[in-house]
Amino acid sequence: MKTILNEQQLAITIQRLSNQLLENHLSLTDTVLIGIQPRGIYFSDRIVKEIAKQVAPENIRYGKLDITFYRDDVRKGLHTLNKTDIPFSIENKKVVLIDDVLYTGRTIRAALDALLDFGRPEKVELCILIDRRFSRQLPIQADYTGRSIDSIISQKVKVYWKEKDGKDEVELF
């Protein structure tokens, strides 16, 4: 086991990603943020909390997306449903999808399909905490990356969050 990010590094990384997001989307007028269920939302919650320090809360549109119905392995008994909550239109908006780990790219493929059922966004970007590069099975890349790591299939990346797991840390097994 190896620690990729400790508590302090994780906090700094989230700060940096939030600033990069704001750099490109300034006052968030045409931008919406969407966290991917189930574990992406802990990360997106933090990003939103960080952004709220610099942008008025009423300008932040933040939703949660469950992509189970769009997965290519939906009927294999692998996925539990979670709540989808997107209480605004994404038509002609810039959408930033937020997830914790980018691995094969299949989750993001499903998320893109799911997203299009809510409208036609002007643009979709992807913000990722950990990018397991060189393990993609689909041509998908992140626009904002917390940390890129090299890993092999037998390894696992686990992101811990205080509100769920009692500590803030990213580990590689």
Partner 1 sequence: MQLSTKHLLGIRDLKSSDIQLILDTASQFKEVLQRPIKKVPTLRDVTIVNLFFENSTRTRISFELAEKRLSADTINFTASASSVSKGESLLDTVNNILSMKVDMVVMRHSASGAPHFLAKHIPAAIVNAGDGINEHPTQALLDAFSISEKLGTLQGKKIAIIGDIMHSRVALSNIYLLKKMGAEVTVAGPPTLIPKYMKDAFDINVEYDLKKVLEWCDVANVLRIQLERQNQVLFSSLREYSLAYGVNKKLLDSLNKEIIIMHPGPINRGVELDSDVADSKQSIILQQVENGVAVRMAVLYLLAGGGANQN
Q: Which position among 6, 74, 137, 162 is part of the footprint of partner 1 (CB under 8 A)?
A: 74
Q: What residues numbered 15-44 form the site for partner 1, per CB under 8 A?
A: none
Judged by beta carbon, residue 37 or residue 151, the one nearer partner 1 is: 37
Q: Taking CB under 8 A as the rule, does residue 106 contact partner 1?
A: no
| Three-class DSSP category at 10 | helix
Q: How many CA atoms, within 13 angstroms, populate the side-chain half-sphere of residue 125?
A: 17
Least Å distance, CB 157 to partner 1, is 20
How far apart (Å, rounded) are the C-alpha atoms in residues 49 and 125?
A: 19
Selected range binding partner 1 among 81-89, 126-134, 137-145, 161-169, rule: CB under 8 A: 81-89
How far apart (Å, rounded) are the C-alpha atoms in residues 142 and 129?
A: 10
Judged by beta carbon, residue 70 or residue 103, the one nearer partner 1 is: 70
β-pair partners for 166: none
How far apart (Å, rounded) are the C-alpha atoms in residues 36 and 66?
A: 6
Lay out the site mask for partner 1 across 40-69 (x = CB under 8 A, - = otherwise): --------------------------x-xx
Q: Which position among 81, 122, 134, 150 is part of the footprint of partner 1 (CB under 8 A)?
A: 81
How far apart (Å, rounded) are the C-alpha atoms in residues 162 and 168?
A: 5
Reading the block at residue 114, the tokens are 């799911």
| Three-class DSSP category at 16 | helix
Q: Taking CB under 8 A as the rule, does residue 88 contact partner 1?
A: no
Q: Site residues (CB under 8 A) for partner 1?
A: 66, 68-70, 74-85, 113, 116-119
